[in-house]
Amino acid sequence: MALRLGRLGSGPWWQVVLGDYAQLRAASPRCASARVCQLPGTAGPQPRRGLGYGPWARGGSRLGTGLAATLAGLAGLAAAAFGHVQRAEMVPKSSGARSPSPGRREEDGDEIARRCSTFMSSPVTELRELRRRPEDMKTKMELMIMETQAQVCRALAQVDGVADFTVDRWERKEGGGGITCVLQDGRVFEKAGVSISVVHGNLSEEAANQMRGRGKTLKTKDSKLPFTAMGVSSVIHPKNPYAPTMHFNYRYFEVEDADGNTHWWFGGGCDLTPTYLNQEDAVHFHRTLKEACDQHGPDIYPKFKKWCDDYFFIVHRGERRGIGGIFFDDLDSPSKEEAFCFVKTCAEAVVPSYIPIVKKHCDDSYTPRDKLWQQLRRGRYVEFNLLYDRGTKFGLFTPGSRIESILMSLPLTARWEYMHSPPENSKEAEILEVLRHPKDWVH
């Protein structure tokens, strides 16, 4: 298989935070809506079979510009955008690859029920519906994002050792809902949120028109265009200035036109935002993500690493939000199963890429000056999310959006000082140099 990237024309792009994660193998107590849960240890990720990919570039219009924008507001999840939108696509190489057998069952009803018993809360979709369609990608994705949420929450709670996650279930009257888990004022984490959403319904005519404006003609039936969108999103802000902030999201989207054709894609990424530069941490984080990408081809990580560097650019500051990671979107070939496996592999790298770094630094000593610099860097984080993240802005002004989930990504505290500039050759100036000129951390 080859992975190909194209460049699209300028125009608004709003992303839904959707995705999947590693399969969970350790049990944990189920939690009722909006209650506090104490979590046991973290289950480790499972090894996955690699898939071969190679580079391929092409241009072309993409599906869902206004579509994803609408969903960003409806789902109430933060998203991001940049000046030109790239396209990630996996296509078969001439040698081909075998796809999973269509009739093969991955989970039976009892196995689905067992998996559901490990989640932070019951799934958004009723268990009987999940059992009815075990091989459908919507079922697989919902189970995976629920497992992702539970596994990440376990890992974070274990590191913090004091604070618990509040579990908040919410419903969207137009269809679907989500589960937001937030830990605040802990020993290690000032704020850590892990949110999932599973939403469905009909897209507006406005969204369909925006899609047509990007070259996609989707026929509506009675002015309706059914969609399903789901994903997991997390932002983690530690207290210690030497423990970096981390963000990840993985997502899935599909829409059905009047002719019964289903259009689908995956997207996601993971990035690190340190207050101070630690070369060893940067190498560990990027190498872990690269190893995940390399299971699917040696040319994927460099492309998605650059995409991430461009994606989190704060234009008015001339610097990146952090030291990057990977980012991709509109992954829609060669098959749902193979794209799903790629996304799943990337998501499985989240915990091993980040948790060791937090454990390493959560008890480091720091000065008031260090804390001040952390607050100023968090101000940059807020600037990006509110000024450049078009999905966030769209969500804030979309009727029916869930504001608490949209703003979950923001830190509890931040600071802005007028004309602040760090001294030359200081450790504060060191991180700024990297944010202005991204580095290759793995070669």
Domains of the chain, residue spans:
105-436
Distance of CA 342 to the CA centre of its chain: 14
The per-residue DSSP string of 54-68 comes to: -EEE-----S-HHHH
b/e 65-103 (16+ beta carbons within 10 angstroms → b): bbbbbbbbbbbbbbbbbbeebbbbbbeeeeeeeeeeeee
Question: What is the predicted pLDDT for the residue at 210?
Answer: 58
Alpha-carbon gap, residue 243 to 362, rounded angstroms: 6
Q: How does pLDDT run along the chain (443 residues), one tens digit per residue?
A: 444 333 323 232 223 223 332 332 333 333 333 444 444 333 344 333 334 333 333 333 333 333 444 344 444 443 332 223 455 654 333 333 334 444 445 445 689 999 999 999 999 999 999 999 999 999 999 999 999 899 999 999 999 999 999 999 999 888 999 999 999 999 999 999 999 999 998 876 666 665 565 455 677 777 778 889 899 999 999 999 999 999 999 999 888 888 888 889 899 999 999 999 999 999 999 999 999 999 998 999 999 999 999 999 999 999 999 999 999 988 888 789 999 999 999 988 999 999 999 999 999 999 999 999 999 999 999 999 999 876 677 567 655 678 888 888 899 999 999 999 999 999 999 999 999 999 999 98
Q: Please give the angle made by the CA atoms of 30, 36 and 39, to the nearest 5 degrees.
A: 55
DSSP H/E element including 308: helix 300-311
Report whether CATH 3.40.1500.10 matches the domain 105-436.
Answer: yes
Question: What is the predicted pLDDT for the residue at 219?
Answer: 76
Alpha-carbon gap, residue 221 to 234, rounded angstroms: 36
DSSP H/E element including 429: helix 427-436
Give me the active site residues, please.
Answer: 247
The closest of 116, 358, 385, 115 to 249, measured between CA atoms, is 385
* Pairing mode, strands 319-320 and 324-331: unpaired
Residue 263 dihedral angles phi and psi, to the nearest 5°: -105, 135
